[in-house]
């Protein structure tokens, strides 16, 4: 390998070439039947993905944003409600809340996991909300009913679900997981004394199969998982114009079906997902070891003992991020920033009236996070080169040869 071989942030070519025959077979089958929408490929994938997640039902939809929107509507979010989430996520999380007719509100995250801080959620529910005379929880300022929580399993690590679910129960809220980055991630619930998969803990959960996710389609795709048959049925109707029977519309729905081609692609890839996730974990261990001398400075990803993360991203921190990113770019190493502006400070949400300083942990993360190349096929020597460049940038010289 020459010095200038590019190491991308993620490699979407290799895994598809490795599965070329299986993927072609999907196309050939569908060309013969022309069953492009719905049908056995979609049903087969839904069955297998539900099983993978340890959920009773899976309903395939057009993308992850729709999965979250339809899950929220089906779980019972009403127009005018407030739905609590975190400010350091992809905007799709809050778009889905708004598109369900609700108002997103935020609580800050934990410094080390970047996930929803259950203590801050508690504080929000205690201090910024009150019960009205009917026992409904209202936001004190907006008087809007607070009805749901959307924890985001960011970077492939599940949020601390035990205390979040406990608060949800205590305040009569329901939880919809944003599992769009966490296919296969696990959380050990001390309450239940067992491991739970992402997508199996909330009233419902949303997955995205955008190509760059741990399980990606060859285009747009998403899914809702749930144990609640009513929610599953409702999402099935909502994704297909509110009909259970063709041209009999029980309600006004959407057009957000899962293409059979995408379902076939996902079905072909699903058997590899656990192994790909295992390799991602191996890559993470490699970075951890290689970057150990900088651990105090770059704050490598932290996994609580309850978590088995699937490393959708490997995120480090630097106060000098832009220069570090440029240094790596000059060494032909791709990086990313997930995400550079916390949602409450985005132009799109200026109208919400938030200011800098409102969610300091999320804001600090936005200023400092940097995602290093992370994908199952990343080779040890490539990883060593990435690590060497990071160490060099900080003037740290070790015996690691690259
Ligand atoms: C990717 C993603 C989404 C949206 O998924 P799409 O399929 O792109 O609509 C939502 N939330 C998070 C956290 C994501 O990473």
Q: Are residues 63 and 205 in the same domain?
A: yes
Q: Ligand 1 centre and the CA of 64: distance in Å?
A: 5
The pLDDT of residue 399: 55
- Shortest-distance Cα residue to atom 7 of ligand 1: 64
Q: Angle, nearest 10°, between helix axes 64-75 and 92-99?
A: 40
CB 307 within 8 A of CB 187: yes
- At 126-141, the pLDDT tens digits run 999 999 999 899 999 9
Q: Are residues 285 and 243 in the same domain?
A: no
The pLDDT of residue 402: 44
3-class DSSP assignment, residue 339: coil
Is 212 part of a structural domain of the chain?
yes
Q: How far apart are the first and last CA of the chain?
A: 10
Domain edge (last residue) among 223, 241, 268: 268
- Shortest-distance Cα residue to atom 14 of ligand 1: 180
Is 83 part of a structural domain of the chain?
yes
As a whole number of angstroms, the distance between CA 104 and CA 107 comes to 10
82 C-beta closer than 6 A to ligand 1: no
In this predicted structure, the answer to whether residue 98 has a pLDDT above a threshold of 50 is: yes
Tell me the average pLDDT across 274-291: 98
- Shortest-distance Cα residue to atom 5 of ligand 1: 64
Q: Ligand 1 centre and the CA of 92: distance in Å?
A: 6
pLDDT band at 394 (very low <50, low <70, confident <90, very high): very high
- At 252-268, the pLDDT tens digits run 999 999 999 999 999 99
Return the closest-CA partner of residue 265 out of 324, 218, 297, 306: 218
313 C-beta closer than 6 A to ligand 1: no
113 C-beta closer than 6 A to ligand 1: no
CB 257 within 8 A of CB 61: yes
As a whole number of angstroms, the distance between CA 87 and CA 366 comes to 10
- At 23-48, the pLDDT tens digits run 999 999 999 999 999 999 999 999 99
In this predicted structure, the answer to whether residue 374 has a pLDDT above a threshold of 60 is: yes
As a whole number of angstroms, the distance between CA 334 and CA 6 comes to 8
Q: Are residues 245 and 286 in the same domain?
A: no
In this predicted structure, the answer to whether residue 396 has a pLDDT above a threshold of 90 is: no
In this predicted structure, the answer to whether residue 398 has a pLDDT above a threshold of 70 is: no
What ligand 1 atom has the least distance to the C-alpha of 67? 9
Q: Are residues 155 and 301 in the same domain?
A: no
Q: Which two tokens stand for residue 297?
A: 């400075």
- For residue 219, what are the domain limits? 14-268
Q: Is 172 left (phi over 0), alpha (psi -120 to 50) or beta?
A: left
The CATH number linked to 162 is 3.40.640.10
Beta bridge partners of 146: 82
In this predicted structure, the answer to whether residue 54 has a pLDDT above a threshold of 90 is: yes
Residues above pLDDT 70, as percent of the chain: 98
Q: Are residues 120 and 173 in the same domain?
A: yes
Is 183 part of a structural domain of the chain?
yes
> Which has more confidence, 316 or 38?
316
As a whole number of angstroms, the distance between CA 400 and CA 272 comes to 32
53 C-beta closer than 6 A to ligand 1: no
The CA–CA distances, whole Å, from 121 to 103, 128, 334 equal 16, 10, 35
Q: Are residues 254 and 324 in the same domain?
A: no
Pairing of strands 82-85, 103-106: parallel
Domain count across the chain: 2
Kindly tell me the sign of the dihedral angle through the C-alpha atoms of 123, 124, 125, 131: positive
Mean confidence (pLDDT) of the chain: 96
Tell me the average pLDDT across 6-16: 95
- At 192-237, the pLDDT tens digits run 999 999 999 999 999 999 999 999 999 999 999 999 999 999 999 9
Q: Are residues 348 and 373 in the same domain?
A: yes
The pLDDT of residue 2: 53
The pLDDT of residue 4: 67
The pLDDT of residue 370: 98
The pLDDT of residue 288: 97
């Amino acid at each position: 390998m020459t010095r200038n071989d590019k190491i991308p942030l993620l490699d979407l070519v290799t895994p598809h070439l490795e599965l070329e025959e299986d993927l072609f077979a999907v196309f050939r089958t569908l060309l013969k039947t022309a069953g492009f929408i719905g049908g056995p490929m979609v049903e087969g994938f839904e069955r297998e993905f539900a099983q993978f997640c340890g959920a009773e039902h899976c309903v395939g939809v057009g993308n992850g944003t729709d999965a979250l929107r339809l899950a929220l509507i089906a779980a019972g979010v009403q127009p005018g409600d407030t739905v609590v989430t975190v400010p350091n996520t992809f905007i799709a999380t809050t778009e889905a809340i708004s598109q369900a007719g609700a108002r997103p509100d935020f609580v800050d995250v934990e410094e080390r996991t970047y996930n929803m801080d259950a203590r801050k959620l508690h504080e929000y529910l205690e201090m910024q909300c009150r019960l009205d005379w009917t026992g409904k929880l209202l936001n004190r300022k907006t008087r809007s009913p607070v009805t749901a929580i959307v924890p985001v399993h960011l970077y492939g690590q599940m949020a601390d679900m035990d205390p979040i679910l406990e608060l949800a129960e205590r305040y009569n809220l329901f939880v919809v997981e944003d599992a769009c980055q966490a296919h296969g991630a696990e959380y050990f619930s001390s309450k239940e004394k067992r491991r739970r998969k992402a997508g199996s803990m909330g009233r419902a959960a949303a997955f995205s199969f955008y190509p760059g996710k741990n399980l990606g389609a060859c285009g747009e795709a998403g899914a809702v998982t749930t144990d609640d048959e009513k929610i599953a049925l409702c999402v099935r109707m909502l994704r297909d114009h509110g009909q259970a029977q063709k041209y009999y519309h029980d309600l006004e729905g959407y057009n957000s079906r899962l293409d059979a081609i995408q379902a076939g692609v996902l079905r072909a890839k699903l058997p590899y997902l656990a192994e790909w996730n295992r390799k991602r974990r191996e890559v993470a261990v490699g970075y951890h070891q290689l970057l150990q001398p900088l651990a105090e400075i770059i704050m490598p990803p932290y996994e609580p003992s309850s978590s088995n993360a699937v490393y959708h991203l490997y995120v480090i921190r630097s106060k000098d991020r832009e220069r570090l990113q440029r240094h790596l770019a000059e060494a032909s190493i791709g990086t990313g920033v997930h995400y550079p502006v916390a949602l409450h400070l985005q132009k799109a949400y200026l109208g919400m009236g938030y200011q800098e300083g409102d969610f300091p942990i999320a804001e600090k993360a936005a200023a400092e996070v940097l995602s290093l190349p992370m994908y199952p096929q990343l080779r040890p020597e490539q990883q060593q080169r990435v690590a060497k460049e990071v160490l060099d940038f900080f003037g740290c010289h070790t015996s690691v040869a690259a």
